[in-house]
Structure 1
């Protein structure tokens, strides 16, 4: 069959649906038929599934012209998705196409939600297309006959590659691809990515360092002009001293107005706690929305999530309050309006969420930005610039993740065993492990067989055996089961199941939150007000409560630092707000705050670095404004406080937000002395970081995750999970053993590398210092706190006071200083 005849099959199907194929879809079909690998860059909702799936099907038809009567059984293609909620949509689209052209293909899903019955059926007969997650793919690689399962699989698609890149799940995926390529040399690898800055590098990481595969690949860009309209929700009155206290809830009625004017609305919050809070506030003030407004986040049970997704799809919901669980989410063609509550902290995340509105090619996306405090309106303005210029962040890939490699080697050992000389070249061909030496690889092998040098006396760390042929294998059923239970790279706090005392599953909450509750305490979760009855094993038993006051459930994984891209845009945007050249609604709304800031201090220009000092009854405040994000400020504050203490013995209290940080002392400090001694410098940064930031404590916390991923500690059986404090103490003990006896242990070294790269963001800290060295430092000795410093001060008070006391205290401070 000629290429023209093959393309005619697809185009005819599109015509029957009343569609016309986009140029990028035709390009992808053509590239696939030419035997190429590649990366497709296309926005959400533009027809990416058809671009790749049609290519796979046409390639199969090319080799099997009698496809309507003869179909060879077995797995032909794998579709990897990082989110389970995407699976249903891809399955429906894929099945619809093959049914439409008369190809007897089956499409199956395999994820954590797949039933045991479905898994058993798949074991007997694999579907032609398997839609799965990185974790489920590795579970399949851990089966004895995985070579037979994958030998005829000719294509693998990694969807939302930008979400996996720069994470350990992405590294896990790289290793999975290396094994599948080893099984079938003709495997075609394709990725799909929406919003990402470093597309060329993303393709390199996906395809690995095999020059033949990379040379035989293409990067296809959809080039679909997607109009995005950003509208700020501006309060009628602006406090001259803004603070991040009410999470934007004072703008609730503006949100209600938008909901009522739209057919359907998604309200994105940055955290699950914020999501719960908004849902409660909306239900409390507007009970008429009951049944029309829902909530969606990752801790709510599967049945509720699926019900919400379907309700949005069939337009029976007016609004849904959600977290990043619907960032990529489901194909919601009908969603009309998006509201973003608070800064999304990154351009890519904002564009992704905006794309959920008008989720069809050619339709304008409308996104409302709701500030949680006044200064976030400057971020709204910066995001509008980012949307116009498509200034999207890079996702930096990981290198040499020894913990993921150790887990992978155990997976291969469980699956019937492996020979190191076969596996090392495959691993070395990945981007992550391209610099892995054979000595390091041998260290990992030694580790899975004997434990590391300091653990060789303990049998529990000896997992893998070696036979006389040199094959590494796991035969012990107990070890194999524990390994399968703990596979994956997402390490979270231990989850506690939440159930009614009378029965009925509600969802899951992290153990650390439940541990703070006493019998009779009331908390808000999954849109319900619940009273805590008792903790039985790993199940929190609750009953409904009618009390008005309740704690809002909080989660540990809700820290979102400002990206460097948005920080840069923010600094540039500051200039426009000061000059008054811009006449946007945001500039007008912030006019009084900006005037007050200029009256008390200055609004820093791009070439200026602002330091403010003032005295209150709390003590002597020094506030610095790098606009680099919370993580960088945390490290910078500690570093600077340490350097200042070398000049004068003094103790400090530190506070920070995304715009700046505060160093507070009960003694007066000479800022001129700091400037004369050139303390704001990138010199000696690593040495001073080690002395100032408690890197050892941070590394211990990192090591817990590394210990879990590498299998050094076991997290427990289903419904019998090991408590977080026990995990922490086990991993801490191992950390100290390695520190004292084996400082060259690769996992111990990795903990420090990850601490500096991810927790402290040392590279960004260095860049920030280098930028400040080239700026003019402006020190303003102020009479009182300024509008810019106020949110930082109030964030420090938040740690000490309840929300009611905090609001009262801030009100008094605002009145006094205004």
Structure 2
């Protein structure tokens, strides 16, 4: 059929007009940048053009290099092709751009950045925020109509999806941005986002999805996890070419010890830290735990009382108003230093910050880069992080971290595979949000990367679990949460079930906490119930940078008063001990290989040379090619020290596994101590050391029957039951209660333990039980990494050394074991006595070496 020339001309004219509009919109965006004296980088323009074409993707670029405006303007260009033109904004009602942030603390800062260009480019658009901190009046306004731009969290997004009119609310959505995707993709919150995106894509197939990341090693997989199995092939991976200069250095201790253990330097580094803070206008002092942050803040104030009001404390347990005051003080440049934890890891823009100090090893390259990027947070500025070792061996980690950063080696983040507790929660959410037909929702769920291989039987089990409570809860109506109506659409029939579900949406599971509040005054923050339970009235503790006196607990609040005493116990929060990453561990072994060859390049290695030289003289240095095992007899029994350098989680599984395998050959029981560098097995009888000969070590480190051996070597039931508590909460079996009526940790534990036992006895095939066991292996014992570590150990040459005394590498493991059974005072006495003996032996050894060298 001949073509209609008039139709062809019209089509060509439309294409030309569309191209002209797109170019005009790009020009408007670039002009906005130019007015502020900013350069548009190539990677930003690449994102803009891809988004204009309707393509989704992932942007990976350095912190502070301009990522936010790269994807924000990309979203605007896609959603509003007439950007910056007088005719734009004619139809502006309804949500157009959704911005997902992993932390509520980031939401306000992000909102300010997104609002800045709107008055000039889209004056009819409004931007708002929806998080757990959003007030009731603002929530009420949003229930009537959402703004064109909404900044929210995964949990708040799921709450919006649970509204009956959710499809209408998201009916005009053009773009979704997922900020700090690397922080979400490796956990269940990321899975929650995947499921939400799958729902939104079904309603709005033409919407674009972009993720932001600064520190990821597995970029291709992260793109796939973000976009889903069907969309990933068309996705765009943009790497920021504007390489930001990051300077990593180390604050060297004045006298590095030849014998070191975790935290022993600690506050001995205080004078150096004070000097570093004094030399800069604004500094972030990162610690790895909230307890450590409390101690350092208190000691900094004691060292420099004149800094009162100029330094502050920031961590996740402090009250929101306190945290916001600190954050605003950083933005305004009013604060000289803030002692903080991971609560300030992510993308809040504190441009005035010049320096970052990291107390102790960051334990991972990605974490170090993330924290370094908090300084010099603007394109073209240098980011600087200074490592402050808390023991001499961390000097080796500091040198290794610099090597890894220079080589661009960053850890990968694994993506969870089909967590059924999250799926069960999602089913109830979607049943509330308009309902679902099972076949349609099954296809939709499989568009989320984590569920791409979800089997029909797994789906049917999850559906049955929410419809009738599974095999063992059919007699309890409260667990029959979803029912099919006359049209075959599954909905939540009971208002009480709907209310309880909405109050418990989310996958963040933490131990129950209590508010901390003055008897006469305001709220300070929250603290774990387990810590308060150990206190008696009159006991003192350090919290929020103050010494407080505990008065009583009433209605989920710990009431306190200020204490005149200058000391107190420091709360210990769960989850503070991060394991050494595989990437950093291999870099450490490379540095030890150099030391074994008498190469001590750089100030860190030169400072730690006396320790490493003594380890080499009394034993040997572990390397990537050599596994060192030390045997020592003492009054306590027979010690075996192994140094795989695989991180404390792997070492816990490895120690239990080897102890069990050794005991199979010769009846024995062992005490176990672990750290990030190795582990100790202590037994009453000498272990069959002949099994450690090269030809039998292969059997000891075999991965044959690994799963069964690991489960046999541990109290797998107790570990699974502890993990099941979290799964039960996410799956909606256990409710954390209603506002003002929160359940205690003991109540939640008892409830989840009851379900665990019921399922074990009456529903052994319950897939939540299977998931609990899998998560123990994958997350608590890092089974995959344990398997790869065993392969590495089989490839290494085993060097068995019989010791006369503990080596510099062995002492930290002995101290770890002492900590479990000795008070702080007794531990200090015990370690001091050992140190005197070891230092005397080291001096004698050095004297003999010097005498041999004299002509």
TM-score interval for Structure 1 and Structure 2 normalised by the shorter chain = over 0.9
Alignment of 1:463-482 (within 5 A): 463-482=481-500
The residue number in structure 2 matching 1:428 is: 446
- 1:80 pairs with 2:96: no
Question: Aligned to 1:790, which of 793, 811, 833?
Answer: 811
The residue number in structure 1 matching 2:514 is: 496
Alignment of 1:81-120 (within 5 A): 81-101=101-121, 103-120=123-140
The residue number in structure 2 matching 1:19 is: 38
- 1:30 pairs with 2:67: no
Question: Aligned to 1:349, which of 367, 389, 411?
Answer: 367
Bigger shift: residues 248-257 or 593-602: 593-602
The residue number in structure 1 matching 2:281 is: 263
- CA RMSD in angstroms comes to 1.4
Size of the alignment, in residue pairs?
816
Distance 1:652 1:167 in 2: 34
Distance 1:620 1:495 in 2: 42
CA contact 1:273–1:552 (8 Å) conserved in 2: yes
CA contact 1:580–1:587 (8 Å) conserved in 2: no
The residue number in structure 1 matching 2:829 is: 808
- 1:182 pairs with 2:202: yes
Alignment of 1:206-221 (within 5 A): 206-210=226-230, 213-221=231-239
Distance 2:108 2:705 in 1: 53
The residue number in structure 1 matching 2:620 is: 602
Distance 1:67 1:392 in 2: 46
* Change over 3 Å in CA distance of 1:325–1:786 after alignment to 2: same
Question: Aligned to 1:203, which of 202, 214, 223?
Answer: 223
Deviation at 1:63, TM superposition (A): 5.8
Bigger shift: residues 49-58 or 199-208: 49-58
CA contact 2:615–2:808 (8 Å) conserved in 1: yes
The residue number in structure 2 matching 1:376 is: 394
Question: Aligned to 2:72, which of 45, 48, 53?
Answer: 53
- Which secondary structure does the structure 2 equivalent of 1:613 belong to? strand
Distance 2:42 2:801 in 1: 57
CA contact 1:67–1:103 (8 Å) conserved in 2: no
The residue number in structure 1 matching 2:61 is: 42
Alignment of 1:290-439 (within 5 A): 290-439=308-457
Deviation at 1:577, TM superposition (A): 2.4
* Change over 3 Å in CA distance of 1:544–1:61 after alignment to 2: same
Distance 2:738 2:432 in 1: 18
Deviation at 1:286, TM superposition (A): 2.0
- Which secondary structure does the structure 2 equivalent of 1:551 belong to? coil
In structure 1, stretches of 5+ residues that fail to align are none
The residue number in structure 1 matching 2:848 is: none
Distance 2:89 2:189 in 1: 40
* Change over 3 Å in CA distance of 1:27–1:466 after alignment to 2: same
Distance 2:161 2:583 in 1: 38
- Which secondary structure does the structure 2 equivalent of 1:623 belong to? strand
The residue number in structure 1 matching 2:3 is: none
Distance 2:76 2:584 in 1: 41
TM-score (norm 2): 0.94
CA contact 1:494–1:511 (8 Å) conserved in 2: yes
Distance 1:36 1:445 in 2: 34
Question: Aligned to 1:565, which of 576, 579, 583?
Answer: 583
* Change over 3 Å in CA distance of 1:261–1:63 after alignment to 2: closer
- Which secondary structure does the structure 2 equivalent of 1:453 belong to? coil
- 1:705 pairs with 2:726: yes
The residue number in structure 1 matching 2:774 is: 753
CA contact 1:78–1:131 (8 Å) conserved in 2: yes
Distance 2:613 2:114 in 1: 57
- 1:523 pairs with 2:515: no
CA contact 1:83–1:329 (8 Å) conserved in 2: no
Alignment of 1:135-154 (within 5 A): 135-154=155-174
Distance 1:231 1:72 in 2: 50
Distance 1:647 1:326 in 2: 50
Question: Aligned to 2:703, which of 660, 678, 682?
Answer: 682
Distance 1:719 1:660 in 2: 46
Distance 2:596 2:220 in 1: 38
CA contact 1:6–1:62 (8 Å) conserved in 2: yes
The residue number in structure 1 matching 2:596 is: 578
- 1:648 pairs with 2:666: yes
Distance 1:406 1:234 in 2: 52
- 1:532 pairs with 2:550: yes
Distance 2:338 2:238 in 1: 34
CA contact 1:85–1:329 (8 Å) conserved in 2: no
Distance 2:133 2:755 in 1: 34
Bigger shift: residues 422-431 or 453-462: 453-462
Deviation at 1:59, TM superposition (A): 2.5
CA contact 2:132–2:156 (8 Å) conserved in 1: yes
Distance 2:89 2:750 in 1: 62
Deviation at 1:24, TM superposition (A): 0.7
Question: Could you list the per-position Cα deviations for residues 483-540 of structure 1 after superposition, in whole angstroms to 9, with x for gaps in the alignment?
Answer: 0111000100011111111241110011111111111110001111100000102110
Distance 1:246 1:327 in 2: 25
Question: Could you list the per-position Cα deviations for residues 217-266 of structure 1 after superposition, in whole angstroms to 9, with x for gaps in the alignment?
Answer: 21111122222221111111122211124461110000000010001110
CA contact 1:641–1:652 (8 Å) conserved in 2: yes
- Which secondary structure does the structure 1 equivalent of 2:727 belong to? helix
Deviation at 1:559, TM superposition (A): 2.6
Question: Aligned to 2:257, which of 236, 239, 242?
Answer: 239
Distance 1:649 1:612 in 2: 21
In structure 2, stretches of 5+ residues that fail to align are 1-19, 840-855
Deviation at 1:70, TM superposition (A): 2.1
CA contact 2:78–2:174 (8 Å) conserved in 1: no
- 1:6 pairs with 2:6: no
Distance 1:458 1:74 in 2: 41
- 1:616 pairs with 2:634: yes
Question: Could you list the per-position Cα deviations for residues 325-371 of structure 1 after superposition, in whole angstroms to 9, with x for gaps in the alignment?
Answer: 10114101111111001111111001111111111222221111111
CA contact 1:416–1:474 (8 Å) conserved in 2: no
CA contact 1:757–1:763 (8 Å) conserved in 2: yes
TM-score (norm 1): 0.98
Question: Could you list the per-position Cα deviations for residues 756-786 of structure 1 after superposition, in whole angstroms to 9, with x for gaps in the alignment?
Answer: 1111111111111111111110000010000
Question: Could you list the per-position Cα deviations for residues 551-584 of structure 1 after superposition, in whole angstroms to 9, with x for gaps in the alignment?
Answer: 0011012131111111111111111223232331
Question: Aligned to 1:671, which of 680, 683, 689?
Answer: 689
* Change over 3 Å in CA distance of 1:60–1:245 after alignment to 2: closer
CA contact 2:63–2:347 (8 Å) conserved in 1: no
Bigger shift: residues 551-560 or 196-205: 551-560
Deviation at 1:668, TM superposition (A): 2.4
Distance 1:791 1:802 in 2: 17
CA contact 2:256–2:392 (8 Å) conserved in 1: yes
Deviation at 1:284, TM superposition (A): 2.1
- Which secondary structure does the structure 2 equivalent of 1:552 belong to? coil
